[in-house]
């Protein structure tokens, strides 16, 4: 029998699904449809390198579920990209969107390259050709399939995708909504860059505020003083660490591909990042100790461990040495199924990726809505709110005789701008979703990952039932 550690991400996601499905009462047919990956498109095309040589580039796009349209999911550039990986990640996106009530089906894409091996011009040619290939097979479009950034990609690549789509598509009016995570000047939305990391912070904050759940772990409620280790300082890991530190947590360990550092007294994140920018490495940061290797950070004594890089970093091999009381999955699939079972048996609280890193797709949804409505959030009502707040402050001052300083009045009466509204919507989403899955976990006596999947399965099944596809 194949060991759990040897199976693909797609197989692991399916096994997690099956474990959750056993707690539902849905018919086998509908469960099979929810579990299945509907479409997978495999792509190969030539790239002329800057030196004149030609290389064949391989890519994929998987659309897991069409119960809601468009489908939604990132595009990653990595040498570990495979068909099974994008299928597994697409399935996670389906469940993730359902958990946080974002009306998308799940998708995922990837190109098998290492970004550091290509020039900017080569990356642009790869991205534009990949977009063209997706268009030819109708695997991209505002109402079809909407990509976003992922590992190895960012706002620059999303701008190239949008520009290519606009140039070829006949639908010029809605074309910008073909992709999210764009620069603000190209139809992006303020707050998107920080969204996934902020969502991780909000999810952790919500979890540690529950006294009933912290007591068995030997922890007090609240973020204040919680010792945190973050593995991976890309966009997600950096912002998660930043917001956690601002929220009162103490960063005691940081890891990146070049190594890891630790300090029981705490690490100043911005000082560490400045040191890394100057030296090219985390190692040698004043006041911190260098760890033997980057994986050693995962085994540090801490309250919260945040794996924020790639999948399968916590396995059956190192799970017995994990000393964290809470594991917050900022990355997709950082804990293998075998390791997950081992950690749960030890009473570790695992905050699952399908909930915790949903901040990115939530704010991507807001960006998509903005592109379709052609108006910036806050543009219509910011000044109106400001005037109303001003009238209220004036009335209170007249009634009480109290006089506020001008800067205090300006701060109190400031109407919300786009980023304020985006962050408010993200916070509401993460808070409501956590309370929902925690309620399911208590009701069915299951872990949070299983509860999250039960929530997703129930919501997707309800959609099919409402469509009359399944009874």
Which of 300, 324, 356 corresponds to the end of one domain? 356
List all residues 6 or more positions away from 366 whose beta carbon is below 8 Å from its beta carbon.
189, 377, 422, 425
Which of 356, 387, 414 corresponds to the end of one domain? 356
| Shared domain check, 228 and 316 | yes
For residue 451, being part of any structural domain is answered with: no
List all residues 6 or more positions away from 12 whose beta carbon is below 8 Å from its beta carbon.
4, 88, 333, 336, 337
Which tokens sit at 214? 């912290």
Q: Which domain holds residue 337?
A: 194-356
Number of structural domains the chain divides into: 2
Nearest-angstrom CA–CA distance, 231 and 96: 22
For residue 170, being part of any structural domain is answered with: yes
The reported pLDDT for the residue numbered 419 is 86
| pLDDT per residue as tens digits for the range 241-293 | 999 999 999 999 999 989 999 999 999 999 999 999 999 999 999 999 999 88
Beta strands in 19-88 (DSSP E): 39-48, 54-63, 71-77
| Shared domain check, 263 and 278 | yes
Q: Average pLDDT, whole number, for the chain? A: 92
Helix (H) or strand (E) holding 305: strand 304-307
Residues 358 and 239 sit within 8 Å (Cβ to Cβ):
no
- List the chain residues with pLDDT less than 70: 1-6, 378-380, 382-384, 409, 413, 415, 470-471
Positive/negative CA dihedral, 115, 117, 123, 125: negative
| Shared domain check, 237 and 111 | no
The reported pLDDT for the residue numbered 380 is 65
For residue 181, being part of any structural domain is answered with: yes
The domain that holds 316 is classified in CATH as: 3.40.50.720
| Shared domain check, 230 and 155 | no
Question: pTM for the full model?
Answer: 0.88
Nearest-angstrom CA–CA distance, 344 and 342: 6
Strands 304-307 and 326-328: parallel
| Shared domain check, 204 and 342 | yes
The reported pLDDT for the residue numbered 4 is 43
For residue 288, being part of any structural domain is answered with: yes
Residue showing tokens 């006949």: 170
For residue 152, being part of any structural domain is answered with: yes
Which of 341, 356, 371 corresponds to the end of one domain? 356
| Shared domain check, 305 and 243 | yes
Residues 223 and 210 sit within 8 Å (Cβ to Cβ):
no
Hey, which residues are catalytic here?
108
For residue 362, being part of any structural domain is answered with: no
The reported pLDDT for the residue numbered 6 is 66
| Shared domain check, 351 and 207 | yes
The reported pLDDT for the residue numbered 383 is 66
Residue showing tokens 């469509």: 467
Residues 249 and 228 sit within 8 Å (Cβ to Cβ):
yes
For residue 276, being part of any structural domain is answered with: yes
| Shared domain check, 172 and 123 | yes
């Amino acid at each position: 029998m194949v060991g759990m550690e040897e199976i693909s991400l797609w197989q692991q996601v399916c096994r997690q699904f099956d474990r959750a499905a056993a707690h539902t009462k849905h018919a086998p047919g509908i469960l099979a449809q929810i579990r299945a990956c509907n479409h997978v498109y495999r792509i190969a095309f030539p790239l002329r390198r800057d030196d004149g040589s030609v290389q064949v580039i391989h890519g994929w796009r998987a659309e897991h579920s069409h119960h809601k349209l468009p489908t939604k999911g990132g595009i990653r550039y990595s040498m570990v990209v495979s068909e099974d990986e994008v299928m597994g990640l697409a399935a996670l996106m389906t469940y993730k969107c359902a958990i946080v009530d974002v009306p998308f089906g799940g998708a995922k894409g990837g190109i098998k390259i290492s970004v550091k091996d290509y020039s900017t011009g080569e990356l642009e040619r790869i991205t534009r050709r990949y977009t063209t290939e997706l268009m030819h097979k109708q695997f991209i479009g505002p109402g079809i399939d909407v990509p976003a950034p992922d590992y190895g990609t960012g706002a620059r690549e999303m701008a190239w995708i949008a520009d290519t789509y606009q140039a070829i598509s006949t639908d010029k009016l809605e074309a910008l909504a073909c992709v999210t995570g764009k620069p603000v000047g190209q139809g992006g939305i303020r707050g998107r860059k920080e969204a996934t990391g902020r969502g991780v912070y909000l999810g952790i904050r919500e979890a540690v505020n529950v006294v009933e759940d912290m007591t068995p772990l030997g922890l007090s409620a609240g973020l204040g003083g919680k010792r945190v280790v973050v593995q991976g300082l890309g966009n997600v890991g950096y912002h998660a660490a930043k917001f956690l530190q601002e929220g009162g947590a103490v960063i005691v360990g940081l890891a990146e591909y070049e190594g890891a550092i630790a300090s029981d007294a705490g690490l100043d994140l911005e000082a560490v990042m400045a040191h890394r920018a100057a030296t090219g490495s985390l190692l040698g940061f004043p006041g911190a100790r260098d760890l033997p290797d980057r994986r050693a950070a995962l085994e540090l004594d801490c309250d919260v461990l945040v794996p924020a890089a790639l999948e399968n970093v916590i396995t059956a091999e190192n799970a017995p040495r994990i000393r964290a009381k809470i594991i917050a999955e900022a990355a997709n699939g950082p804990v293998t199924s075998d390791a997950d079972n081992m950690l749960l048996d030890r009473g570790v609280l695992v905050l699952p990726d399908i909930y915790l890193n949903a901040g990115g797709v939530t704010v991507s949804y807001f960006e998509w809505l903005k592109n379709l409505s052609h108006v910036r959030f806050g543009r219509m009502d910011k000044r109106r709110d400001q005037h109303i707040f001003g009238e209220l402050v004036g009335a209170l001052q007249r009634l009480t005789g109290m006089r506020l300083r001008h800067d205090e009045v300006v701060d109190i009466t400031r109407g919300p701008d786009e980023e304020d509204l985006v962050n408010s919507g993200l916070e509401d989403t993460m808070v409501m979703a956590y309370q929902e899955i925690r309620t399911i976990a208590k009701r069915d006596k299951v872990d949070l990952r299983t509860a999250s999947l039960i929530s997703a399965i129930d919501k997707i099944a309800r959609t099919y039932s409402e469509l009359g596809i399944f009874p």
